[in-house]
Amino acid sequence: MNISYRVNGMLNNFESKVDLKLNRHRNDFKSLLLEIESGNNLEQIFGSIALANSLRKILKNKGVIDASNKLTKSGKDFIVSPLLEEVESGTYSIDYVSMPIGKETVNFFSAIRRTISNEKRNFSTWNISNIISDNQMFTDRKDECVFYKELTLPKQLNSVFQGQEKTVEINIDLLEKKYNVEKGSWLLTGEELYHKVLTYADEALKNNPYGRFDLFNNLLYIETLKDFSDKELVSGHLEEYSTEGIVINSYPLCIDKVAMAKKYAYLYMYYRLNEDATYSFKEMDEILQNEVLTKNIFTDSVKSSKTMLEFQYDYNGFKDNLDTEKFNNLAYKLRVLEEFLDLKVVDNEFSKAKNYKEIVTKFSTSLSGSTVNELYMIMGYPFAKNSKTKTTEMIQEFTKVYQNITIVKKGNEHIENQNIEKEVRSLGVKVRENKNIKKAFHDRYLVFELKNKTYEIYLITCEIGQFFNPSTNQPLGSIIKINPSEISKDKVNLIHLVKE
Amino acid sequence: MLKTHEFNNLNNIVNYGFIYEQHANCSITLEDIISNVSTSLLIYDTKGAVFLELASKAKKIINNHNTVFAGLISHTMIKDLKSNGIVSGFYRSTSSNSNIAIAIADKINAYLIIDTKSIIKVSSKKLSFELFNYVNHLLWSRAEFEVLNNSVPKKITEIRLSVVVPTFESVRTKSELLNESYKYGTQDFDANHVLLTKPKVVDQKALLINSNIDSMIGNENQYYIRVFDEYYAPVNQDISFLFKGSSFINEKVQTLVNKRSWFDEKDRTIESEKVFEVVEMQPLDSYKQYEPDFEALYKQLVKDNYGKVRINVNVKPIMIDSTYQISPKYAKRTKIEAFVEESLNKLQKLADENSKKTINNIKTIKWVAEKIQKHNEFVATNEFGDDTLKNKKSSISKININIEDITIPQELLGKLYIKKNQQYFALKDETRLAEAKQWLKENNQDAIMVLDYE
């Protein structure tokens, strides 16, 4: 994804004695505050009571610690953004940019150098208005990171040595909040410049053929699926659009209408099935819930709508939501899938379980914790960002019996909820991924590596972390013990892939 | 001259064999299966027993995209779909072979298809369900190539095990069946009556069954037919159309007459009576007395079994035909005659008047043997004038010849022929047979008497 503003402006330079107010990036102060936040003793760190006292005094004056030497709110904020206001005076060579944004022209200082040129220059009145502040400036000192606050000429001085003006291309990256001049180094825009350009972009993008751009959330709320290419719809991104200097690439699409979301769901699955994939209708539902609904392509209200939460693919749905040509391409395959790949839950010891505890109990009767060296859970969507994912709950039960658990992600595309992974890892579970598993194995498995170096393998026909229907507690799939010989084909072996 | 002998085999005993039996035909046809399909027809047939015929008859289903036509077939068959005119439908190929073809209409009506004329409709819903689930398991979990409509065969690389093998209750395993006792069974089972797909000699009572069934066990009211792997499907309806015959031991030929049977390694139908007509050629002087060796002729002529065998031998005199050559004696005789004449002419020119007279007399002798004898006597006894004449005479000498080599009978009596160094005396009819024999005797010659073709 990329959204930027590209425009030609004027780059100028003047040299003068000036007073500069800057925000300087101060990592040394940040480190000090981090030590204090961690409760470390400054006397011990510096080996000097006097030095510690002196530092604390400075910090108190800056308002970052209080009387009891604890971090204040501004101290905590400083750790996040360690900018300290400083004032300096001297003779500088300063670049400034005049950049048109719509009808307005703004100016900002883009570089300060402490070395003056040898050029012969005119001495002219300094007269720059509409100056943007907070932007980062290039400086001639290495490792220096400063942001413009204010510039004043010393009293009695109202003229400066003016350099030659030239036309330059200015690039503002609205995602990274960075700018560059003449394809030079990327520098941070600061809030003022960013908001000015953002406001302009918002206005400029109002007249577009696609829908409504939400530049705050970086989403394009689309009006109809027809405006986009197949590739754009499958990836969920507008490939390229530009207007009035605003250039957009790979911009996320967003659907806020349930009817369109439903249509999109069928279109998405059309492309998956047309690319040789074979899914049962239940598996298609699972893909939608985990791969599509976790993306931002639908608004939260669409995602949480009853229609989408209870959405299930069916033959007539494809017929109603795809255009005739697409439907005809897929119709026979859909009939085959509908007729022959209508998987039912297999009636066995696991099919009557109502919760993970009961499942683990069933396993532990034949596979006690002491006999199992490692349990590998080969999963498609272990940490999917949706309410159906109960991986933590599942893992909590399994860890009660099995000490060593590794979740192996098959490589299915989906958006993850980092919190779930964090919770699972905190339970001592290892997590790894091998995308080659998805290429060779359709299903998901539990592989018990026993201490005697043999394996017991269970096939799971749905996601083990989403095993129970949230409303009925009924299993949504089956757990079936299979012969280890079944997990090898054409020199590909699941256990090898799991351990890779 | 007709000579006849009859052999009666009706009471002969055949030690072991089979009599084929004609049962009522199977009442279900491929068309019946097809006409009852409403949503899908799945056929599992890696042997190719009926797939192509079913597909060609099911064109209406294949071309109707609301009805799914799916085939689980062999790798070879899936490559040849297009060349066999099959351009629609869903096909996958597997290495898990079917023993007989299984067709399942609408997922619930299963048929065991032994061949196009031997179809068993599965009456049990449970069995149909198990068969469908197993074939469907193979379709999704054990297939290696796929053709959807008119696509080229695509390799299935992904392992999908989620369509699992059903728990069989109706379908039985071989090990289960081995633990039970049944009256009939193929040779892989130990049953009292063995079921054979091809007739062969076994040391027990045997029944012949359809050759497409490789393993089967059961009693009269229920059989188990091997359908795939080591699994057997029960059938409890009338499957008499699968039975082709039964064995017999020590049966009289009389009971096998006019029935299709098998014994001595061969399928046969014994005719009640068979007549063999034989012509035998014998010498003219002996054919009337000739008695054929009927036993030898039986061995030579009768290759199959018959209730009764009559051999009619028409004994005829040997006749001259183009395979016989006229005896070289005739040519030799002509040559000698010319030579004697020439020699006499030469002598005549050298001789005096008396001798010329003698020579003229010799010339008039008709009998060539006598003529040569006189010529030789003349040459031996007469001398001529001077040396020159002697020298001239030296070109004339006695004619040395075995008189038998040029002895031939009068044409009216017959003619001498030769074939493979054997001399034949060909007569125009039998009337001068004695005379001819006398001629041979007198001339010290040996020849087989035959009839001339004129």
Tokens of B45: 């047939």
Q: Does B27 touch chain A (CB under 8 A)?
A: no
How many domains is chain B built from? 3
Other C-beta atoms within 10 Å of B454: how many?
Answer: 8
Cα–Cα dist B319/A373, whole Å = 103
CA distance B235 to chain A (A): 25
Q: What is the C-alpha radius of gyration for chain B, rounded to an integer number of angstroms?
A: 44
Contact B42 A340 (CB under 8 A): yes
| Binary contact (B161, A486; C-beta < 8 A) | yes
Q: What confidence tens digit (pLDDT) does each residue in B266-301 have?
A: 999 999 999 999 999 999 999 999 999 999 999 999
Structural contact between residues A29 and A75, judged by C-beta atoms closer than 8 angstroms:
no
**Same domain for B159 and B58:** yes
Tell me whether residues B68 and A340 touch, CB distance under 8 A: yes
Beta bridge mates, A56: none
Longest CA span, chain B: 134
Per the CB < 8 A criterion, the answer to whether B261 and B21 are in contact is no
Q: What is the pLDDT of residue B412?
A: 86
Taking CA atoms, A284 is separated from A336, B350, B444, in Å, by: 14, 133, 113
CB contacts < 8 Å between A and B, how many?
Answer: 70
Contacts of B162 in chain A (CB under 8 A): 280, 343, 442-443, 459, 461, 478
Residue B121 sits in the same domain as residue B43: yes
Q: What is the DSSP letter of A312?
A: -
B393 lies in the same domain as B289 = no
A149 near A85, Cβ under 8 Å? yes
Is there a contact between B19 and B259 (Cβ–Cβ < 8 Å)? Answer: yes
Q: Residue B416 falls within a domain, yes or no?
A: no
Query: What's the gap in Å between the CA of A343 and the closest CA on chain B?
Result: 7
Secondary element (H or E) of residue B173: strand B172-173
B381 reaches A (C-beta below 8 A): no
For residue B384, what pLDDT is reported? 57
Residues B99, B136 share a domain: yes
Measured between CA atoms, the residue of chain A closest to residue B161 is A443
Are A340 and B70 within 8 A, CB to CB? yes
CB B160 within 8 A of CB B183: no
Helix axes B353-364, B368-381, angle to 10 degrees: 160
pLDDT at A140 over 60: yes
SS3 category, A394 = helix
B412 within a domain of the structure (yes/no): no
pLDDT digits (tens, 9 = 90+) for A183-207: 999 999 999 999 999 999 999 999 9
Task: Please report, for residues A102, B7, B43, the alpha-carbon distance to residue B273 in angstroms, rounded to integers and kept in the order given.
Answer: 118, 10, 50
Q: Which of A316, A339, A444, A487 to mutate to test the interface with B (most CBs of B within 10 A)?
A: A339
| Domain extent listing, chain A | 2-22+85-193, 27-81, 206-254, 258-340, 356-499
Whether residue A260 contacts residue A268, with contact meaning beta carbons closer than 8 Å, is answered with: no
- Is A415 in a helix, a strand, or coil? coil
Q: 3-class SS at B257?
A: strand
Same domain for B296 and B340? no
- Taking CB atoms and an 8 Å limit, are B68 and A335 in contact across chains? yes
Is B161–A332 a contact, with Cβ atoms under 8 angstroms apart? no
Are B371 and B301 found together in one domain? no
Q: What is the predicted pLDDT for the residue at B38?
A: 94
Averaged over A208-232, what is the pLDDT?
91
- Nearest residue of A to residue B106 by CA position? A339
Chain A: residue nearest B67 by CA?
Answer: A335
Residue of B63, B139, B162, B163 to mutate for A, most A C-beta atoms under 10 A: B162
B371 backbone dihedrals φ, ψ, rounded to 5° = -60, -45
Q: Which two tokens stand for residue A20?
A: 């500069």
Please report whether residue B35 resides in a domain.
yes
What is the DSSP code (8-state) at residue A320? H
Picking from A432, A426, A427, the residue whose alpha carbon sits closest to that of residue A377 is A432
Residue B388 has what pLDDT?
46
- CATH number for the region A356-499 comes to 3.30.870
- Per-residue pLDDT, B394: 56
What is the C-alpha separation between A119 and B91, in angstroms, rounded?
Answer: 83
Q: Find which of B44, B158, B165, B168 to mutate to test the A interface (most A CBs within 10 Å of its CB).
A: B158
Burial of A472 (0-12, 13-18, 19+ CB in 10 A): exposed
Report the residue from B66, B149, B162 with minimal CB separation from A461: B162
Tell me if B140 is assigned to some domain. yes
Confidence at residue A356, expressed as pLDDT on a 0 to 100 scale = 97
Nearest-10 Cα torsion for A78, A81, A85, A91: 150
Which of A295, A296, A299, A271 minimizes the C-alpha distance to A284?
A: A271
What is the DSSP track for A126-165? ----SB--S-EEEESSTT--EEEEEEEPPTT--EEEE---
Interface test mutation site (partner B, options A340, A350, A438, A442, max chain B beta carbons within 10 A): A340
Angle at A116 between CA A110 and CA A119, to 5 degrees: 105
Tell me the residues of chain B between 138 and 197 that have a Cβ less than 8 Å away from chain A: 139-140, 148-149, 154, 157-164
Around A330, how many Cα atoms within 13 Å sit in the side-chain half-sphere? 31
Max distance between CA atoms of chain A, in angstroms, equals: 93
Closest CA to B212 of B309, B115, B116: B115
Beta carbons of B137 and B166 less than 8 angstroms apart: yes
- Same domain for B397 and B280, yes or no, is no
**Is residue A495 less than 8 Å (CB to CB) from chain B?**
no
Are the Cβ atoms of B149 and A459 closer than 8 angstroms?
no
Query: Mean pLDDT, 10 residues at a time, over chain B (454 residues)?
Result: 94 94 90 95 96 94 90 96 92 96 96 95 95 96 93 91 92 95 94 94 94 94 94 94 95 94 93 95 93 95 92 95 93 91 84 81 87 85 56 68 87 92 92 92 92 78
Q: What is the DSSP letter of A443?
A: S
pLDDT exceeds 90 at position A173: yes
Q: What are the backbone dihedrals phi and psi of residue B123, each rounded to the nearest 5 degrees, phi first?
A: -90, -25
Backbone angles phi, psi at B264, to 5 degrees: 50, 50
Whether residue A431 lies within 8 A of chain B, CB to CB, comes out as: no
Chain A partners within 8 Å of B149 (Cβ)? 332
In a domain, B396, yes or no: yes
The pairing of strands B154-155 and B143-148 is: antiparallel
Q: Is B95 on the interface with A (CB under 8 A)?
A: no
Cα four-point dihedral sign A422, A424, A426, A429: negative
DSSP state of A291: I
* Yes or no, beta carbons of A443 and B160 under 8 Å apart: yes
Cβ-defined contact of A487 to B159 (cutoff 8 Å): yes
Secondary structure of residue A25 in the 3-state scheme: strand
Which residues from A are below 8 Å from B91, CB to CB?
Answer: none
Least confident span in A121-130, A460-469, B48-57, B110-119 = A121-130
Q: Which of B88, B148, B164 is the closest to A346 by Cβ? A: B164
% of chain A with per-residue pLDDT over 70: 100
Do the Cβ atoms of B163 and A341 come within 8 Å? yes
Domain that holds residue B388: 328-406
User: Are both B106 and B54 inside the same structural domain?
Assistant: yes
Whether B452 contacts B414, CB under 8 Å: yes
Contact A389, A381 (CB under 8 A): yes
Residue B123 CA, distance from chain mean position: 45
CA distance A92 to B244: 113
Q: Read off the pLDDT of each residue in A420-438 and give the average, rounded to a whole number.
A: 95
Residue A216, chain B, CB below 8 Å: the answer is: no
Give the ranges where A169-225 is alpha helix by DSSP (H).
190-204
Residue with tokens 């991104």: A237
Chain B residues in contact with A492 (beta carbon < 8 A): 159
Give dist(CA A200, CA A189) in Å, integer. Answer: 15
For residue range A71-96, list pLDDT tens digits in order: 999 999 999 999 999 999 999 999 99
Based on the fold, state whether residues B57 and B157 are members of the same structural domain: yes
Closest CA in chain B for residue A438:
B158
Same domain for B36 and B164? Answer: yes
pLDDT at A387: 84
**Same domain assignment for residues B73 and B146:** yes
| DSSP letter (8 states) at residue A258 | H
> Which of A276, A332, A439 lies nearest to residue B65, judging by beta carbons?
A332
Model confidence pTM above 0.90: no
The CATH number of the domain holding residue B163 is 3.30.870.10
Residue B214 lies in a domain: no
A310 in B contact zone (CB under 8 Å): no
C-alpha A442/C-alpha B160 separation (Å) is: 5
Q: Which residues of B touch A480 (CB under 8 A)?
A: 164
Q: How far is A443 from chain B (nearest CA, A)?
A: 6
Same domain, B48 and B126: yes
Query: Tell me, what's the pLDDT at B224?
Result: 97
Torsion sign across C-alpha atoms A235, A240, A241, A247: positive
Nearest chain A residue to B158 by CA distance is A440
Question: Which of A279-288, A418-427, B103-112, B369-378 has the least mean pLDDT?
Answer: B369-378
Distances (CA, A) of B34 to B37, B40, B55, B103: 6, 10, 10, 10
pLDDT at B400: 84
